[in-house]
């Protein structure tokens, strides 16, 4: 290989990203992972890695945070068939969106410091950025797969779906795209452990996207109410799933999926409530924290992860 080729290879496989401070990759990655068994979002204590599909080819992005909480930067290493210099801008765009690197949360911290309970929660996890799934489609399939079952079981099903249909770099798989599921059958998805109804709904959505009947990208231009109503018109999607997709897939930070039983339990524990709050009771508390209600959802997840001993607090600079 010539010197010029080696230089080009280095440039296209390694680069840096500059998050808006403060930033913590570990906290943000854990909100993407949710449980240690997640095989799609890998975290080894220092490196976050994820296989993406860019221009039809898989590329594994491995990210390490450097610098300090207030002056952070991220080194990114790309490997796999999609690790070509022409794909670098698209990888940067996806990672910036997924990790919320360009989001300034100073308004949230200002609001949080006006309430002792919220301030204590926000300050413990300073540097967290609200993440998003790589696509609205991924968020939608996540929501459907996790309906009415435990999160651990839901992630297990999603792991299997990715391993069966996602493009791979080595042993790691990308989340399947709609076109990856185009030839899948209900029977095949049932074999992965999905219920018949969930399998039918996921395949129907995949086909609708591939055939151009469902434009999930159009949701980006809609206001929150229209996003939720549009998603609820899709077979198999109710209020919880639509609000989950709005928050996790579209980054609508004012939406709190208050039908989430797990989150209701976390909410009850956080505020010391005598019973688990329902949808309306959650909103009676959080509506005063608009337009950052969705951030409460994420912070309560972090609180739960910390109680499980999965987070390292406080932050230690590299």
**DSSP SS3 for 237:** coil
Residue in 3, 14, 25, 16 with CA at minimum distance from that of residue 315: 25
**Res 3: pLDDT:** 35
How confident is residue 6, by pLDDT bands cut at 50, 70 and 90?
A: very low
Residues with Cβ within 8 Å of 65's Cβ and at least 6 positions away in sequence, in order, are 23, 24, 25, 26, 72, 73, 74, 318
* Residue in the block written with tokens 């949080």: 112
Q: What is the pLDDT of residues 54-79, one digit of tens each?
A: 999 999 999 999 999 999 999 999 99
Question: Is the pLDDT at 8 greater than 60, yes or no?
Answer: no
**How sure is the predictor about 291, in pLDDT bands with cuts at 50, 70 and 90?**
very high
The answer, yes or no, to whether residue 310 has pLDDT greater than 80, is: yes
Provide the pLDDT for residue 12.
59
Pairing relationship of beta strands 72-79 and 14-17 according to DSSP bridges:
antiparallel
CA dist., res. 278 & res. 264, Å (int): 7
Q: For residue 284, what pLDDT band results from cuts at 50, 70 and 90?
A: very high
CB under 8 Å to 146, separation ≥6 — which residues? 154, 155, 158
Q: What is the average per-residue pLDDT within 37-53?
A: 97
From the CB of residue 180, how many other CB atoms can be counted at a distance below 10 Å? 19
Checking if the pLDDT of 222 tops 60, the result is yes
pLDDT at residue 70 in the model: 96
The pLDDT of 153-163, averaged and rounded, is 98
pLDDT confidence of residue 318? 60
Domains and CATH numbers, the chain: 3-104 (3.30.310.20), 105-125+254-311 (1.10.1670.40), 136-248 (1.10.340.30)
Dihedral (CA of 290, 223, 105, 277) sign: positive
What is the residue-averaged pLDDT of the chain? 94
Residues 31-44 have pLDDT tens digits of 999 999 999 999 99
Q: Please tell me the distance from the alpha carbon of residue 34 to that of residue 30, in angstroms, as a whole number.
A: 6
Tens of pLDDT, residues 138-147: 999 999 999 9
């Amino acid at each position: 290989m010539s010197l010029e080729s080696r230089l080009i290879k280095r440039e296209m496989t390694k680069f840096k990203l500059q998050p808006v401070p403060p930033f913590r990759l570990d906290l943000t990655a854990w909100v993407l992972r949710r449980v240690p068994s997640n095989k799609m979002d890998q975290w080894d204590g220092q490196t976050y890695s994820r296989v993406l599909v860019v221009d039809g080819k898989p590329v594994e992005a491995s990210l390490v945070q450097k610098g300090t909480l207030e002056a952070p930067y991220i080194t990114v290493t790309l490997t796999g068939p999609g690790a070509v210099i022409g794909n670098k801008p698209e990888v940067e765009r996806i990672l910036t969106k997924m990790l919320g690197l360009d989001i300034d949360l100073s308004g949230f911290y200002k609001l949080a410091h006006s309430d002792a309970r919220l301030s204590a929660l926000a300050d413990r996890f300073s540097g967290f950025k609200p993440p998003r799934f790589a696509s609205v489609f991924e968020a939608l399939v996540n929501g459907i797969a996790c309906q009415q079952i435990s999160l651990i079981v839901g992630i297990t099903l999603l792991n299997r779906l990715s391993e069966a249909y996602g493009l791979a770099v080595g042993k790691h798989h990308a989340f399947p795209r709609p076109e990856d599921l185009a030839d899948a059958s209900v029977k095949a998805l049932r074999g992965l452990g999905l219920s018949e109804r969930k399998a039918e709904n996921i395949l129907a959505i995949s086909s609708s996207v591939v055939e151009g009947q469902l434009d999930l990208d159009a949701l980006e231009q809609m206001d929150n109410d229209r996003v939720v109503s549009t998603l609820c018109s899709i077979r198999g999607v109710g209020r919880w799933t639509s609000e989950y997709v709005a928050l996790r897939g579209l980054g609508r930070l004012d939406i709190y999926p208050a039908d989430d039983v797990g989150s209701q339990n976390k909410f009850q524990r956080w505020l010391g409530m005598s019973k688990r709050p329902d949808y309306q009771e959650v909103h009676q508390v959080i509506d005063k924290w608009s337009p950052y209600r969705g951030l409460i959802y994420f912070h309560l997840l972090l609180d739960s992860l910390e109680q499980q001993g999965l987070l390292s607090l406080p932050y230690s600079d590299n």
